[in-house]
Structure 1
Amino acid sequence: MPITFRKSFRILPGVRVNLNRRSFSVTFGHRNGPKRTYSSSGRTTTSHDLPGPFGYRSTRTRRR
C-alpha cells in the first residue's frame, strides 16, 4: 500500500492552498459556486457543482 500525503489550508475566505507530495495548488471560489484551481505542475481546473448528482469540470495543461 503506497503512502500518500495531502493537506489543505484555508488562507482567506474563498482561497485555499493544497499541498501534496509532488506539487501545490491554489483554489479560488466558494463551496456552492464555481471554483478555479491553479497547480504548480501547470494544470488549471475549472469546476462547478450542478443540482443533484451532476457537476462540470474542465482541465487544461500548460504546453511545454
Structure 2
Amino acid sequence: MAITFRKSFRILPGVRLNINRRSWSVTTGGGRGPRRTVSSTGRRTTSMNLPGPFGWRKTTRRRSG
C-alpha cells in the first residue's frame, strides 16, 4: 500500500490551494458556476456540475518546446 500526501487549504472565499507530493494547484469558483484549476505542472481544468447525474470537464496541458 502506497503512502500518499494530499492537503487542501481555503485561502480566500472561493479559492483553494491544493498540495500533494509532486505538485500544487489553485482552484477558483465552484458553487453554482464553473470551477477552474491551474496546476504547477501546467494542467488547466475547467469543470462544472450539471443538473442530475451529469458533469462536464475540459482539461488542457501547457505545451513544451
Look up the SS of the partner of 2:63 in the other structure: coil
* AA of the residue aligned to 1:34: P
Q: Give unpaired runs (5+ residues) of structure 2.
A: none
> How big is the shift at 1:30?
2.6
Q: How many corresponding residue pairs?
A: 64
What's the % identity of the aligned pairs? 70
- Output the aligned Cα RMSD: 0.7
Question: Is 2:48 the partner of 1:48?
Answer: yes
* AA of the residue aligned to 2:22: R
Q: Which aligned runs of 4 or more in structure 1 are off by greater than 2 angstroms?
A: none
TM-score (norm 2): 0.94
Distance in 1 of aligned mates of 2:59 and 2:30: 18
